[in-house]
Amino acid sequence: DIQMTQSPSSLSASVGDRVTITCQASQDISNYLNWYQQKLGKAPKVLIYDASNLETGVPSRFSGSGSGTDFTFTISSLQPEDIATYYCQQNDNLPLSFGQGTKLEIK
């Protein structure tokens, strides 16, 4: 099974800050990496697919990069509505697997 390791596990930042989350896969997954946002009490929502592609309707302040085993998710200018937990997910091999999540808070 492929293990996904996210860092940090939690993060506090100010409105307008640039925020970066990293995700490392235990083996090469090419670009088969998605990023999800989960707000409290809600289902996850896909923001980025295939490492760097913005899902339709998602604000352009969200972006992703990377390939192989190392990936980065960035919010260019943090907004209050971005308070959520963010998960990476690999879809290269079964079983599909998620990172442990990064909880983002506003300072």
Number of residues that bind other proteins (CB under 8 A): 25
Distance CA 79, CA 13 (A): 10
The pairing of strands 10-13 and 102-106 is parallel
Least distance (Å) between residue 100 CB and other proteins? 5
| b/e sequence 50-71, b meaning 16+ C-beta within 10 Å | ebbebeeebeeebbbebeebeb
Looking only at residues 27 through 86 of this chain, which bind other proteins when binding is defined by CB under 8 A?
32, 34, 36, 42-46, 49-50, 55
Q: Which is nearer to other proteins, 17 or 91 (CB)?
A: 91
Contacts with other proteins, residue ranges (CB under 8 A): 1, 32, 34, 36, 42-46, 49-50, 55, 87, 89-92, 94-101
